[in-house]
Structure 1
């Protein structure tokens, strides 16, 4: 990475996108065959929701160097944000093939499969994301959700509890634990989890509904 690329990334991180754009323009003029500058410019454009322009920069980086893993990842994120999950999966797989074996890539790949309801493919990607970054709350949560939807309920309970160890205020995990306990006919535990979700997030509609159903069940109605 050239100095101007490094400076540009720093400016982007600090929120000065105009300065970053100027530096990246200069970097591209000085080194027109450097895929890194095009990738960084793509990331900058993606940050301001200029998706089609961003894609063109990522494509340019890849045309210079097919192994530009970060450009493939940028493409994947654009497609994901456009709900084009098939193309996102393809881009994320290429990201991994070209050596960017990071937690975020596995998470986004798993999330793309999850959005397509391809749970058997989502599970190993999300599991790998957690192995690489055990403290990633979103990856842990979606891993737990995937287990639950595959009806691996005991494993899902364990995984939702892992999320609550990382974030005790995670209302959606409390709700899903309530559902899991209800599924296991453990009504008292289910009620506690729905109540905990409501205590954290008073407008958690699904937890209010779950609480009513469990209370009716416990009261013999």
Structure 2
């Protein structure tokens, strides 16, 4: 009797072992299949063949629906293609599978920002920060929302956080310069424009803005040096010519001042400020 009982236990254990091995094999095959589809989707995504990428990501999800990054990349493909509503569904599914998958919150925030729903965008970005406090991009886009709402101090706070996390973040440095200039703190604006310039020495818009501030500060030689670099980047920027003319005038070089201001006028013949300056 005891022997029969032992045999039953042995048979039961054997069956359980076989089922376990079978389940492991199925899971392994499922994982390999889903990863294959996922990587194929990535390759199509990199080639900007988004319809094919979407098809592959969907197959990866069907093979293994428990991986958040599959839903995330599906959402990213939809978003890049312009299918925002489908992207939202995919990103929300990603955080359902893994609530800590913070990039999905970031992307949801970006879509809400694009749609003009700033409060929802802020909520998603805040959640993203909670999940990953050291993500500089989130603070940058919160700063952009503050810019849109006219909250200069809020923008400065968020851009500053972005720069703390990523000291060479050009866009954040540049926007700090813009916001300090708007506040009238031109010296602080110069500080951040100069930091931005170290990252991108030949960014035209940054160079022109820095030159304009130097003109306002009556530091005409520095203004002329910076604007000369901007002129080498683009010969046909009206503001570069106009403020370079002002810089030359401040330095006492009237011939160059007139020449650059006249060049500005040829680029914008109806500009009242340029006519007034020449008159």
Q: Which has the higher mean CA deviation after the structures are superposed, 152-161 or 8-17?
A: 8-17
Residue 140 of structure 1 is matched in structure 2 by 173
CA distances 1:22-47 after superposition (whole Å, capped 9, x unpaired): 33112222333443322211111111
Shift of 1:95: 0.8
**1:70 and 1:100 in contact (8 A); partners too:** no
Q: Which has the higher mean CA deviation after the structures are superposed, 87-96 or 206-215?
A: 206-215
Distance 1:96 1:13 in 2: 27
Residue 196 of structure 2 is matched in structure 1 by 163
Residue 46 of structure 2 is matched in structure 1 by 13
Unmatched 5+ residue regions in structure 1? none
Choose 1 or 2 for highest CA Rg: 2
Query: TM-score, length-normalised on structure 1?
Result: 0.84
Matched, 1:29 2:59: no
Report 1 or 2 for greater relative contact order, CA contacts < 8 Å, sequence distance ≥ 6.
Answer: 1
Residue 40 of structure 1 is matched in structure 2 by 73
Distance 1:104 1:36 in 2: 19
Distance 1:16 1:136 in 2: 30
**2:50 and 2:78 in contact (8 A); partners too:** no
**1:178 and 1:191 in contact (8 A); partners too:** yes
Matched, 1:56 2:89: yes
**1:187 and 1:218 in contact (8 A); partners too:** yes
- For these two proteins, the number of residue pairs brought into alignment is 221
Residue 75 of structure 1 is matched in structure 2 by 108
Q: Which has the higher mean CA deviation after the structures are superposed, 200-209 or 78-87?
A: 78-87
**1:175 and 1:207 in contact (8 A); partners too:** yes
Distance 1:114 1:10 in 2: 36
Shift of 1:72: 0.8
Query: TM-score, length-normalised on structure 2?
Result: 0.68
Distance 2:129 2:105 in 1: 9
Out of 209, 216, 235, the position equivalent to 1:202 is 235
Residue 127 of structure 2 is matched in structure 1 by 94
Distance 1:56 1:142 in 2: 32
CA distances 1:118-151 after superposition (whole Å, capped 9, x unpaired): 2212222222222333333222212222222222
Residue 260 of structure 2 is matched in structure 1 by none
Query: What's the secondary structure of 1:185's corresponding residue?
Result: coil
Unmatched 5+ residue regions in structure 2? 1-30, 255-276
After superposition, the Cα gap between the structure-2 partners of 1:146 and 1:9, relative to the gap in structure 1 and judged at 3 Å, is farther
Distance 1:199 1:73 in 2: 38
Shift of 1:98: 1.7
Distance 1:177 1:185 in 2: 12
Shift of 1:21: 1.9
